[in-house]
Structure 1
Amino acid sequence: MLYRRFGKTNLRLSVFSLGTMRANASPENAWQTIQKAIVLGINHVETARGYGKSEEYLGEAMSNDKPLRVYAVGLPVPRSQVHITTKIPPTPDADTMRRYIDESLERLKLDYVDCLGIHGLNTWEHFNWVKAKGGCMQAVQEAVADGRVRHVGFSTHAPLEIILAAINTDLFEFVNLHYYYFFQRNAEAIQQAFEKDMGVFIISPADKGGRLYTPPETLKDLCHPFSPLKLNYRFLLSDPRITTLSVGPAHPNELTEPLQVAECDTELTPEEMTVFQRLENHQRAALETDKCSQCYACLPCPENINIPEVLRLRNLAVAYDMTDFGQYRYRMFENAGHWFPGMKANRCTECGECLPRCPENLDIPALLQDAHNRLNGPSGRRLWS
């Protein structure tokens, strides 16, 4: 396992972090997953107030000022060597945040957490709560002052503009965000965070990065001799601005494949670069003049359709047969609130406002209808909504 400095926190985190959202089938399953992760070298465990019983189960593995009850090579692992992050949603007032912090520490059975993330800083309203004098950050800063929180950051599913604004508040030491080979919209946020010496934590690269643990045959063939999952991990780990990647197993065995690349953070090899170029060439040929370049110039949409995201999912479905992933994400529209905002593409009224803004001269209404036909299905929701 390799370790990197988590920005100005100066914590040295394993390049993979254990996310505990899915390992909640039972206390025993959660315990076994945490145990295996630490034995394999992971030193950062992340949970959240909103992840079901995750904090409670993690707390069962903790005891204040005592070794974590995990044994690697026969030796107990001290609490000081296992970094714990929990996340709490933004609140409009300090009192609610104070209560939430107290409740999380109680469930975790800890005197302090290494990192507290404002969970889901996704809207301008959330941003204003964070910026407000006497708001939720007052309670967070009090917890930092009395030692119950060591470092503060935020996690986000927000549009790029909100992410950049939050980074530029200088209130945070790290950021958790989406960024993958198949979604590079947040590249500017990665650079901005790096320039401010913030730790960068990539959310769910296997799942939100394309459901790459179950890739379609077309994508597997294009990525040969590598797996799509390994290529995405290499794309991220080859970037020195990124500190750590989330791995979120439902059970211990799901840790095996991701950690095969836990010591591969060198620059991309010529062979890997050739495969990435092959993917680009194939997408260009498959989509021809219907390729959305993700410039976001088409927004805002009067019907609140997230046009670029809908067309990104269509790009992936058409070019790489990533229809399963596209359907999984598309079904979240209208069902996941601010975590995945926007209306489905069939809401398009063909008003035409987006057409003159598009530098590719795409027939956006027609592509939206095609995307809806390909990707629509039963409604989806977030796991812990």
Structure 2
Amino acid sequence: MNPARRPFGRGPAVSAFSLGTMRALGSPGQMEAVLGAALAAGINHLETAPAYGPAERFLGEAIAALARRGLAPQGGWLITSKLLPGGDLASSQQQLRGILMRLGVPRLHGLAVHGLNTPEHLAWACQGPGAELLAWALEQGLVGQVGFSSHGSQAVIEQALASGRFSFCALHVHLFDQSRLPLARAALAAGLGVLAISPADKGGQLYAPSPELLADCAPFQPLELAYRFLLEQGISTLSLGAAQPGDLIWAERWQAGELGGGGPLGQASPEALSQEVRAALARLSEGAAERLGAERCGQCRACLPCPSAVPIPELLRLRNLAVGHGMESFARERYNLIGRAGHWWESLNAEACRECGVCLPRCPHGLAIPELLADTHRRLAAAPRRRLWG
């Protein structure tokens, strides 16, 4: 196997970075420039979806344009696209045919259920029309393997992994949100491929780090440390959404062997790299612990279930990021998305806390959870916008 490639479920090996195509949407020319840079950076796996607007059409045109110049990765492009759950068999089959037509390819490397976030989605994919669709697509040779992406609960993801229906998954597994790391490890141990969803942006807007992060992660850039951490965990591939060729610098550095163990040139010692990463992670943890003091949430989830269904650990995780790592911008953006993204994100913020106190004796750290939730809301809630009429 090419040392720059990593196993990915039941399909061909993929590059350590996958090109996410939801940002290069200004024009077909923009997509072509990004795709050319991805090829130069050693990327062979492309991730797209009908929900990404014109991405599939632009990508198909870009692939054709590069092919006319004799440009493609060895073994060809490996393309994963995604379908939203919920349609009947006939409409879903039509959607898959539309994907292939827009991309200009006869088959996909991978087809994923896009946002397997609820028990209803899981039932659709495992027993309902979705199960029929996935079986049909495999039988017809239209896809090489099937998987799912999920922004849902631990329980839904666990059930999806245990179903035996899927050979790869895309999860929010990040340096600053390791709650799904055990699920990713279990998937990898079972032979599934694991794609980390947007470690740069959804992982904390690490392309615009705070002074605290820069100091704590040194000698690494925060984004570099996040990528090293995930690659050392054995995550199959990291999604890298690029709007311009320059956004692919980290994939280029991996291709050059500069991100350590597993790089194609094998220039770094995995043992030495791991020691450096462990030391940086320790400094990162120590810095956050010092700033948060006794108010640090350990993310053990012992406070759950909340009688009011408040997602306590997730809300206090955002507070940890804001106070402990100076990541106020990211934490505020995520906090103010609560209740506005349907099943893709949490539905209740800290205002839903009734201060019933049920969580207090459960917390092994003795945190004053209702007070910390109120503080989280004061810190992160956006001020109401003044109406321009009425």
Normalising by structure 2, report the TM-score.
0.90
Contact persistence 2:338–2:346 (CA under 8 A): yes
Contact persistence 1:116–1:152 (CA under 8 A): yes
Contact persistence 2:41–2:251 (CA under 8 A): no
Contact persistence 2:147–2:169 (CA under 8 A): yes
Check 1:378–1:2 CA distance in 2 against 1; reply closer, same or farther (3 A cut).
farther
Larger displacement relative to structure 2 (290-299 or 115-124): 290-299
CA distance in 2, matches of 1:261, 1:202: 16
**How many angstroms does 1:164 deviate by?**
1.1
**How many angstroms does 1:302 deviate by?**
3.6
CA distance in 2, matches of 1:161, 1:188: 12
Check 1:276–1:311 CA distance in 2 against 1; reply closer, same or farther (3 A cut).
same
Q: 2:379 aligns with which of 357, 374, 381?
A: 374
**1:76 correspondence with 2:71:** yes
CA distance in 1, matches of 2:339, 2:243: 26
CA distance in 2, matches of 1:52, 1:345: 33
CA distance in 1, matches of 2:182, 2:228: 20
- Counterpart for residue 89 of structure 1: 84
- Counterpart for residue 7 of structure 1: 9
Q: In structure 1, list runs of 5 or more residues that go unmatched.
A: 380-385
**How many angstroms does 1:287 deviate by?**
1.6
Contact persistence 2:310–2:353 (CA under 8 A): yes
CA distance in 1, matches of 2:345, 2:225: 26
Check 1:271–1:377 CA distance in 2 against 1; reply closer, same or farther (3 A cut).
same
- Counterpart for residue 189 of structure 1: 183
CA distance in 1, matches of 2:251, 2:383: 30
Aligned positions, number: 370
**How many angstroms does 1:303 deviate by?**
3.4
For residue 69 of structure 1, what is the amino acid of its counterpart? A
Q: CA RMSD in A?
A: 1.9
Contact persistence 2:311–2:346 (CA under 8 A): yes
Structure (1/2) with the larger helix percentage: 2
Deviations 1:263-291 (A, max 9, x none): 33423332322111111122222222211
Deviations 1:35-85 (A, max 9, x none): 21112211011101111111111121345xxx95275xxx43279511011
Check 1:87–1:265 CA distance in 2 against 1; reply closer, same or farther (3 A cut).
farther
- Counterpart for residue 120 of structure 2: 125
SS at match of 2:52: coil
Aligned ranges 1:38-77 → 2 under 5 Å: 38-62=39-63, 68-69=66-67, 71=69, 75-77=70-72
- Counterpart for residue 322 of structure 2: 317
Contact persistence 1:21–1:54 (CA under 8 A): yes
Structure 1 runs (4+) greater than 6 angstroms displaced? none
Normalising by structure 1, report the TM-score.
0.91
For residue 101 of structure 1, what is the amino acid of its counterpart? L
CA distance in 2, matches of 1:310, 1:236: 23
- Counterpart for residue 383 of structure 1: none
CA distance in 2, matches of 1:265, 1:378: 44
**1:261 correspondence with 2:259:** no
Q: 1:350 aligns with which of 355, 372, 376?
A: 355
Q: 1:237 aligns with which of 231, 235, 241?
A: 231
CA distance in 1, matches of 2:232, 2:4: 12
SS at match of 2:291: helix
Aligned ranges 1:298-337 → 2 under 5 Å: 298-337=303-342
Deviations 1:240-298 (A, max 9, x none): 3x111010012222112453234334233323221111111222222222111111222
Contact persistence 2:29–2:62 (CA under 8 A): no
- Counterpart for residue 370 of structure 2: 365
Q: Percent identity over the alignment?
A: 41
